[in-house]
């Protein structure tokens, strides 16, 4: 994949703002909320500006390192990087402008180190992602850009509401595009040893953008992790997928005009197989006695086949045959259930988190006039902490239900281990990694 994100990962119904693998999508902050929205909704998305626990010691740079000493080492690293960049075809004059006045940024490292500690339940995330204010603002943004969005939809075959929903979650419709110097941020992260190779690649891509003349160095601003513009593209994604939809000769995703960014997002989704007219997913009702082992991403059936098993839309009728679909229970048997289609996986290319994909899809539906999610959530549950998720994996593996790794990420292998444990112990096999399950394991 071409993008990477400090992705919100499902963790027993929780969103954990953890660093996703370098093969994932893109580094991007979750959208900031305006003060008015935060006050009105009393909710906060998993934004990089969120208050988080104290940083753990950094790999390669001590958390309490003196900024002056760190910057001295950083300047030495830049000299070594310059020769590598020149070998990659970057002009010396571009490097001079890009690194003029650039210093080590300890705030970037602090934010990078604290991602894995922040957790949020999926229902809290969705309450904010598709809040009344965000829906209202989304409808207003769509109306304002209606003509251009219609053109974008016609050219790329991606529904305008989906593009607007991504815009809304990534930057609150352009209100929070990020003001940090991308070269400084990426250089700091590349200098750091934790994911240095990945971020050096992003830094080289950023320099190629500068060399192409799309944006001046000091106007290349974005999030702390290098995500840029209205829909938060990282440099490699920009190089591969950004488009000049306005026809001014530049692929401008940074300015107040969002058109190039919106078109680039549609182009990105089209590249990865978006099917126009197919829903991302549909909320469904499960029958009594449903076999929860069938709620598995690997099990796909036509909606008519699911209907034969008693799974219907909220209206009691079979879901339309939009293609093969799986059943997703993001918060287990006590939460809402969804029938998800191929477009769900396309949105995952933008951000791997189920909650993000549901958030985008549901916000798009709401902007289009759809109803709120009707299913209940286990709101009495809290999110598992990183330490608890690791403990859950350790205890499952120790009990003979191998999670194939202890990383604190509740992915398919851990969900499968949870389900196997539940079957063996006479529990509802919904794969939900809850605090109650951890307590039972203890």
List Cα–Cα distances, 198 to 184, 236, 379, in angstroms.
15, 11, 38
What's the rounded Cα separation, in Å, for the pair 275 and 213? 34
* Encoded tokens for 64: 């309490």
339 phi, psi to nearest 5 deg: -100, 115
Please, are residues 6 and 115 in contact by the beta-carbon 8 Å criterion? yes
Residue 335 Cα to chain centre, angstroms: 21
Q: At what angle do helices 354-367 and 160-171 cross, to 10 degrees?
A: 120
Please, are residues 377 and 338 in contact by the beta-carbon 8 Å criterion? no
What's the rounded Cα separation, in Å, for the pair 345 and 360? 12
Please, are residues 266 and 153 in contact by the beta-carbon 8 Å criterion? yes
Residue bearing tokens 């969705």: 126
Q: Tell me the CB-side half-sphere exposure of residue 95, using CA atoms within 13 A.
A: 17
| Residues annotated as part of the active site | 170
Provide the b/e sequence for 38-55 (b: ≥16 CB within 10 Å). Answer: eeebebbbbbbebebeeb
């Amino acid at each position: 994949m071409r993008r990477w994100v400090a992705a919100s990962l499902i963790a027993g119904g929780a969103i954990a703002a953890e660093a996703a693998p370098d093969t994932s999508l893109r580094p991007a902050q979750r959208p900031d909320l305006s003060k008015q929205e935060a006050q009105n909704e009393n909710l906060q998305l998993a934004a990089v500006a969120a208050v988080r626990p104290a940083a753990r010691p950094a790999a390669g740079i001590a958390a309490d390192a003196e900024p002056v000493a760190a910057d001295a080492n950083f300047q030495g690293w830049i000299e070594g990087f310059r020769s590598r960049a020149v070998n990659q075809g970057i002009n010396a004059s571009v490097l001079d402008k890009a690194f003029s006045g650039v210093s080590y940024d300890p705030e970037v490292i602090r934010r990078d180190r604290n991602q894995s500690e922040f957790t949020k339940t999926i229902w809290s995330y969705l309450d904010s992602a598709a809040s009344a204010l965000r829906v209202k603002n989304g409808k207003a943004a769509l109306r304002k850009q209606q003509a251009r969005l219609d053109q974008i939809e016609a050219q790329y075959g991606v529904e305008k509401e989906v593009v607007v929903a991504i815009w809304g979650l990534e930057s609150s419709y352009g209100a929070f595009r990020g003001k940090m110097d991308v070269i400084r941020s990426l250089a700091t992260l590349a200098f750091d040893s934790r994911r240095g190779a990945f971020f050096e690649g992003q830094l080289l891509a950023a320099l190629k953008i500068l060399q192409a003349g799309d944006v001046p160095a000091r106007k290349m601003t974005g999030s702390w992790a290098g995500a840029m513009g209205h829909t938060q593209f990282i440099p490699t994604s920009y190089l591969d997928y950004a488009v000049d939809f306005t026809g001014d000769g530049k692929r401008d995703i940074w300015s107040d005009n969002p058109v190039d960014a919106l078109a680039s997002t549609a182009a990105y989704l089209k590249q990865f197989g978006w099917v126009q007219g197919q829903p991302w997913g549909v909320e469904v009702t499960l029958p009594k006695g449903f076999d929860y082992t069938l709620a598995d991403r690997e099990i796909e059936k036509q909606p008519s086949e699911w209907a034969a098993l008693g799974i219907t839309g909220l209206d009691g009728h079979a879901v339309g045959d939009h293609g093969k679909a799986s059943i997703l229970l993001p918060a287990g048997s006590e939460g809402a259930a969804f029938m998800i289609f191929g477009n769900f996986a396309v949105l995952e290319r933008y951000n791997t988190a189920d909650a993000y994909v549901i958030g985008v899809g549901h916000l798009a539906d709401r902007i289009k006039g759809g109803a709120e999610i009707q299913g209940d959530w286990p709101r009495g549950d809290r999110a598992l902490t990183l330490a608890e998720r690791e403990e859950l994996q350790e205890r499952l593996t120790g009990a003979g239900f191998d999670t194939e790794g202890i990383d604190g990420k509740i992915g398919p292998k851990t969900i499968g281990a949870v389900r196997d444990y539940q079957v063996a112990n006479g529990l509802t096999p919904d794969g939900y990694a809850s605090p109650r399950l951890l307590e039972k394991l203890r």
